[in-house]
Amino acid sequence: MAEDWKNGGFGLYVHWPFCQAKCPYCDFNSHVAREIDETVWIRAYLSEIERVAGETPDRLLNSIFFGGGTPSLMHPDTVAAVIEAARLHWTFANDIEITLEANPGSAEAGRFLGYRDAGVNRVSMGFQAMNDADLKRLGRIHSVNDALSAFDVARSCFDRVSFDLIYARQDQTLQAWESELEKALNLSVDHLSLYQLTVEDGTAFGDRYAAGKLRGLPDDDRAADMYLLTQDICDSYDMPAYEISNHARLGTESRHNLIYWKYGDYAGIGPGAHGRLTLNGKRFATECPKLPAAWIERTSAGNGESVRTQVSPSEQSEEYIMMGLRLAEGLDIDRYTQLSGKPLPNDKLIYLQDLGMVSLSGATMKATRKGQPVLNAIIRELLAD
Amino acid sequence: MTDLAHIRNFSIVAHIDHGKSTLADRLIQETGTVKERDMQAQLLDSMDIERERGITIKANTVRIDYTADNGETYVLNLIDTPGHVDFAYEVSRSMRAVEGSLLVVDSSQGVEAQTLANVYHAMEADHEIVPVLNKIDLPASDCDRVAEQIEDVIGIDASGAIQVSAKTGQGIHETLEAIVHELPAPTGTRDAPLKAMLVDSWYDSYLGVIVLVRIMDGVLKKGERIKMLSNGSVHHVDRIGVFRPEMQVIDELGPGEIGFLTASIKQVRDTRVGDTITHEKKGTTDALPGFKPAQPVVFCGLFPVDSAEFEDLRDAIEKLALNDASFSYEMETSAALGFGFRCGFLGLLHLEVIRDRIEREYDIELITTAPSVVYHIYMRDGTMTELHNPADMPDLTHVDHLEEPRIKATILVPDEYLGDVLKLCQDRRGLQMDLTYAGSRAMAVYDLPLNEVVFDFYDRLKSVTKGYASFDYQMTGYREDNLVKMSVLVNDEPVDALSMMVHRDRAEARGRAMVEKLKDLIPRHMFKIPIQAAIGGKVIARETLSAMRKDVTAKCYGGDATRKRKLLDKQKKGKKKMRQFGKVDIPQEAFISALKMDS
């Protein structure tokens, strides 16, 4: 029997942990540093690629993703070196997707050509909002005009361009979001990530929220209305959601992120990067230390990983549900059964179907439009003892 | 053995915080009964709960040797009685074991309701009563006013009241002299058959059950075989002694003396407070008056929060019951709460004490269902059954009528809060029996249904009077009223643990308050949930909890899989703390919070 990860493919995630400034809502592993010696970083990435590739020889690499932090602060030569090393150690798929997350500022746009020459074929830009006042509130250092110019440059350099927007923001009305979204959709964009603002612990927003000072956030009812409105508008622009927060024209879905949601294998290198690797028939969760200096130190000792734990079959089946149900195409119930060793309880499936939360067809289960906004509750119901 | 003329037996009657325990400590200290270095505050209250709450639950006793100013040495036996109405019967027995009382009143506060109830017990027992005005060191102390109040309210002469500061020691010597000269010596006949009163008993893990006794007639010696008159059980006495306050073994106890015996008795249940103890052979057949077996008044269900702890709970309850004859229990199964116990208590304090001890000493988290009183159901066929649990209410077509227990409540309150107190009593279906004034304080006496008191009457009383009211009650009997069972339906299914007996006129208000509370307490689900209160098939209040609209993680990528899985595990544990009812999860706090009424 084929190993389970092959259902999702294999990708490489490269984490660049630095930003020019920390955004108040962001809980990703990012750091602000004054001076960065990129030769040190190239050496570290390359030794990590060599190490992981040694454990996963003969694999076809479907995707590389440069995430962060702000990877568009990397020198194109650094990006090129990483891509070359990956090409050397794995076999690239013919249609390999190589994505780089970019801040939509003028300085970054100047490097886009260099990234293209290095092998990057897709950029994902952090627009976040389409008006300057809200960009300021979100702590962003670019303006809408900066973003639009950067977008034009990106369009001219790359076949595939995506950008992110954050909605359900403070004091945002349904109408304001509708016009903002339409503005975005009218750009020649093939992929959009539309995230509802999530207040995370340990961020500046989290602290302000705890202190009762983050006002004007929508309640659950309005947030749900905004979500449904988003789906309707995007559908009418032929940009349906293929995942809870991601929209694309048919065929331009992010292949890299599909590896996560289809529960494939991925190598994670860089500070705080996570991975899932199937080795000798067992699946492992890997994790690198979050602090850049700690990770660099480890890599120079030969191994950037700080944690490697086996993911048990039943844990794998839970992760598959949590990831797979996010996709519009749904998940394969038989695959779940194979992973967990026991089928999903039929009474729960029928119950959720009767509630209109999921639809069942053959071995495929999908969250319905009604179910998508309450997906966590569906997952709890499915996986509760 | 001490001759009768040199024995004085007494108790101390006081309201909580009026300084009973401190005064007792001082008496013990002054006479050198306990060495200075062994003193710890409130010697007689030995349970943590007693010390924390400033209350006495079990009767305690101490034997003090006192050499009076006249040069003679007396044996003073102090019985420290429970001060709370829940233990009224125990108090009345302790009072019968002594001849006099010190009536201790805080001279900065005055007489409180609880003082009254206990002083009446003392008067019923024909006690000589010595008034003691305590806390005279406080600036607010006003001995003249309080002495006058004692004369007005209680009706005893307070002109010779002893002024004491248990804190500084002032007046302690005078108190000891008053005990010797103003309280009567006990009476009794040494040659008569043994007649002893069982004053209290408790379990000791080394000695078995320790029985506190007062010898009325005859002599009790180690090695003798004794008989309990109530059930004829016979025991071999293996130890006799007194408390100083630690146990001291002696050879015999004679008439008028108070002490303890052990007889390898395994369960406190086998020893009934108020019972008469005599010799197996040639004993008396003449029982002491007033004995009655314990009668639980308030019932509630106790369920473990974690259903896996049911056996631990059973163990805890069995152990506590061994030491508490007045606490009854039987297994109960609730559709909502699973396996637990229906427990009977002497009153609300008793309930709280037992619940606290289970949670604290046995480390079991509990769900407590609504306290319920015992209703008398008269069936059409003429029979009567007791209803301990509203869930067991029989089909109405067979029921002729219901009776509920009533109480006589005495409330003392500064007159500025009187209006609020009267309104509260009125709202709780109270009938005013008396209203008098003593100085700036009013005394209201109400006839109230016990079921209106068991929920939160005392909390409400404290809140409307800013804590200045004192309250006490006694059971008066049963009376017919228009009582109905109100059930609560969540998602169209009845939740047995939330059903309750209410007066028909109060049902709508109760039902409305209940469904509104539940709407806030139950989290949203994937579907909308009707919450209804109903009498029989008729819905009297309804709310709808709308369906959950949004619960989804916006961003979920490679690094989030582990985090989400851990979160899910945490949520699964959280779900275990909920009670599943049909498809609805009800958090455990809902069962308690929903029953607390705001008005």
The model's pLDDT over B382-393, given as tens digits with 9 standing for 90+, comes to 999 999 888 889
Cβ of A377 within 8 Å of Cβ of B525? The answer is yes
Which pLDDT value is given to residue B34?
67
Q: Is the Cβ of B559 closer than 8 Å to some Cβ of chain A?
A: yes
Inter-chain residue contact B552 with A13, CB threshold 8 Å: no
**Are A172 and A57 in a shared domain?**
yes
Q: Do residues A50 and A152 share a domain?
A: yes
pLDDT in the model for residue B582: 80
CATH number of the domain that residue A49 is part of: 3.20.20.70
Q: How many CB atoms lie within 10 A of CB B385?
A: 13
A228 inside 8 A of chain B by CB: no
pLDDT of residue B14: 83
Q: Compute the count of residue pairs across chains A and B with CB atoms less than 8 Å apart.
A: 98
Residue keyed to tokens 């007066």? B503
Q: Do A370 and A248 share a domain, yes or no?
A: no
Say whether pLDDT at A127 is over 90. Answer: yes
In a domain, A102, yes or no: yes
Nearest to A373 among B552, B564, B565 (CB): B552
Reported residue count of chain A is 385
In a domain, A285, yes or no: no
Contact with chain B for residue A324, Cβ under 8 A? no
pLDDT of residue B592: 67
Q: Are residues A36 and A119 in the same domain?
A: yes
Mean of pLDDT values over A194-208: 93
Least confident among A58-62, A248-252, B594-598: B594-598
d(CA B341, CA B270): 22
Instruction: For chain A, say whether B574 makes contact (Cβ under 8 Å).
Output: no
At residue B41 the predicted structure's pLDDT band, cuts being 50, 70 and 90, is low
pLDDT at B75: 95
Identify the residue among A323, A351, A353, A358 best suited for mutation to test binding to B, counting B beta carbons within 10 A and taking the highest: A323
CA distance B308 to chain A (A): 15
pLDDT at position A97, please? 98
A274 touches chain B (CB under 8 A): yes
Which whole number is the average pLDDT over B325-353? 86
Domain of A358, CATH number, reads: 1.10.10.920
pLDDT digits (tens, 9 = 90+) for B436-490: 987 777 889 999 999 888 877 887 888 888 877 878 788 899 999 999 999 999 9
- Written as one letter, the residue type at A367 is A
Would the pLDDT of B262 be above 80?
Answer: yes
Domain boundary among A260, A291, A325: A260
Statement: B298-369 belongs to CATH 3.30.70.870: yes
Burial A247-286 (b: 16+ CB within 10 A, else e): bbeeebbbbbbbbbbbbbbbbbbbbbbbbbbbeeeebbbb
Peptide bond into A69 cis (omega under 30): yes
- Predicted local distance difference test score (pLDDT) of residue B599: 39
Per-residue confidence band for B429, with pLDDT thresholds at 50, 70 and 90: very high
Interchain CB distance below 8 Å, A374 and B550: yes
A45 and A180 belong to one structural domain: yes
* C-alpha to C-alpha distance for B246 and B262, rounded to whole angstroms: 15
Flag whether the pTM goes above 0.80. Answer: no
Helical packing angle, A38-55 and A292-300, nearest 10°? 60
List chain A residues with CB under 8 Å of B570: none
Instruction: Choose the mutation target among A374, A378, A385 for the interface with B, i.e. most B CBs under 10 Å.
Output: A374
> With 70 as the cut, is the pLDDT of residue B598 above it?
no
Instruction: Tell which residue, A128, A116, A250, has the closest CA to residue A181.
Output: A128
**B308-334: pLDDT as tens digits:** 999 999 999 988 887 777 888 999 988
Q: Do domains B195-279 and B376-481 have the same CATH topology?
A: no
Interface of A with B in 185-214 (CB under 8 A): 195-198
Give the least confident one: A279-293, B14-28, B222-236.
B14-28
Do A197 and A131 sit in the same domain of this protein?
yes
CB within 8 Å of A374: residues ≥ 6 apart: A357, B526, B548, B549, B550, B551, B552
Helix (H) / strand (E) element for A295: namely helix A292-300
- Shared-domain flag, residues A153 and A79: yes
By Cβ distance, the residue of A220, A245, A357 closest to B555 is A245
Preceding omega of B289 cis (within 30 degrees of 0)? no
Q: Which domain holds residue A191?
A: 4-260
CA torsion angle A98 A104 A110 A113 (round to 10)? 20
Cα(B566)–Cα(B569) distance, rounded to whole angstroms?
5
Q: Which of B525, B526, B567, B570 to probe by mutation at the A interface, max A CB count within 10 Å?
A: B526
What architecture is domain B195-279? Answer: Beta Barrel (2.40)
Q: What is the pLDDT of residues B57-84, one digit of tens each?
A: 555 788 999 999 999 999 999 998 766 6
Place of tokens 């003679």: B72
Mean pLDDT over residues B497-514, rounded? 90
Establish if A99 belongs to a structural domain.
yes
ipTM for the complex? 0.93
**Is some CB atom of chain A closer than 8 A to the CB atom of B554?**
yes
pLDDT surpassing 90 at residue B89: no
CB of B575 within 8 Å of a chain A CB? The answer is yes
CB-CB under 8 Å, B526 with A379: no
Q: Are A355 and A349 within 8 A, CB to CB? A: no
Which pLDDT does position B38 carry in this prediction? 60
Residues A251 and A325 in one domain: no
The Cα A10–Cα A259 span in angstroms is: 7
Shortest alpha-carbon distance between residue A91 and chain B (Å): 22
What was the pLDDT predicted at A244?
Answer: 97
Q: Which of A274, A284, A305, A354 to mutate to test the interface with B (most CBs of B within 10 A)?
A: A274
Q: Are residues A325 and A242 in the same domain?
A: no
Other CB atoms within 10 Å distance of the CB of residue B530: 14
Average pLDDT over residues B582-586: 86
User: Could you tell me which chain B residue has the CA closest to the CA of A266?
Assistant: B558
Quickly name the fold that domain B4-182 has.
Rossmann fold (3.40.50)
Contact criterion met (CB < 8 Å) for B558 and A13 = yes
Portion 321-340 of B in contact with A at CB < 8 A: none
For residue A56, being part of any structural domain is answered with yes
By Cβ distance, the residue of A223, A323, A383 closest to B556 is A323
The answer to whether residue B525 neighbours chain A at the CB level (below 8 Å) is: yes
**Could you say which of A260, A275, A293 is where a domain stops?**
A260
- CATH 1.10.340.30: does it fit domain B485-494+506-594? no
Percent of chain A's residues with pLDDT above 90:
90
- Asked whether residue A140 falls in the same domain as residue A29, the answer is yes
pLDDT tens-place string over residues A161-197: 999 999 999 999 999 999 999 999 999 889 999 999 9
Among B12-21, B105-114, B274-283, B531-540, which stretch is predicted with the lowest mean pLDDT? B12-21
B573 lies within 8 A of chain A by CB: no
DSSP state string for B417-473:
GHHHHHHHHHHTT-EEEEEEEETTEEEEEEEEEHHHHTTTHHHHHHHHTTT--EEEE
Give percent above pLDDT 90 in chain B: 50
Percent of residues, chain B, with pLDDT higher than 70: 93
In chain A, residues with a C-beta closer than 8 Å to the C-beta of B568 are 318, 322, 379-380, 383
Taking contacts as CB-CB distances below 8 angstroms, the residues of chain B near A385 are 572
Q: Which residue has the tokens 């300057």?
A: A132
Across the interface, do B556 and A244 touch by the CB < 8 Å criterion? Answer: yes
Domain membership of residue A279 (yes or no) is no
Terminal CA-CA length for chain A:
29
Question: Residues A224-235: what's their mean pLDDT?
Answer: 97
Instruction: Determine the residue among B548, B549, B560 to mutate to test chain A binding: the one whose Cβ has the most chain A Cβ atoms within 10 Å.
Output: B549
Q: Please, what is the average pLDDT of chain B?
A: 87
Q: Which residue has the higher pLDDT, B38 or B160?
A: B160
- Residue pair A191/A162 in contact by the 8 Å Cβ criterion: yes
Domain count, chain A: 2
DSSP H/E element including B119: helix B113-124
- A276 and B555 within 8 Å at the Cβ level: the answer is no
Residue B93 has what pLDDT?
87
Residues 9-38 of A with CB under 8 A from B: 13
Asked whether the predicted pLDDT for residue B595 surpasses 70, the reply is no
Identify the DSSP state of B478: E
pLDDT at position A22: 87
Specify whether A238 is located in the same domain as A341: no
Q: What DSSP element (H or E) covers B120?
A: helix B113-124
CB atoms A326 and B556 under 8 Å: yes
What is the reported pLDDT for B347? Answer: 80
Please indicate, yes or no, if residue A213 is contained in any of the structural domains.
Answer: yes
Q: Does the pLDDT value for residue B244 go beyond 90? A: no
* A272 touches B at CB < 8 Å: yes
Which of A261, A283, A252 is closest to A188 using CA atoms?
A: A252
Q: Is the pLDDT of residue A1 over 70?
A: no
Q: Quick one: pLDDT at residue B597?
A: 54
Spatial distance between the Cα atoms of B192 and B186, rounded to a whole number of angstroms? 15
Distance CA A265, CA B466 (A): 66
Model pLDDT, residue A59: 96
Question: Model confidence over B287-306: pLDDT tens digits?
Answer: 998 887 777 888 889 999 88
Q: Region A230-257: what's the mean pLDDT?
A: 97
Contact yes or no for A377 and B565 at CB 8 A: no
Query: Is position A267 within any domain?
Result: no
Q: Where in chain B are the domains?
A: 4-182, 195-279, 298-369, 376-481, 485-494+506-594
Is B555's CB within 8 Å of A223's CB? no
Domain B376-481 carries which CATH code?
3.30.70.240
Nearest to B32 by CA among B76, B72, B70, B2: B76
A251/A366 same-domain check? no
Q: Compute the average pLDDT of residues B142-155.
A: 90
- Banded pLDDT at B152 (limits 50, 70, 90): confident
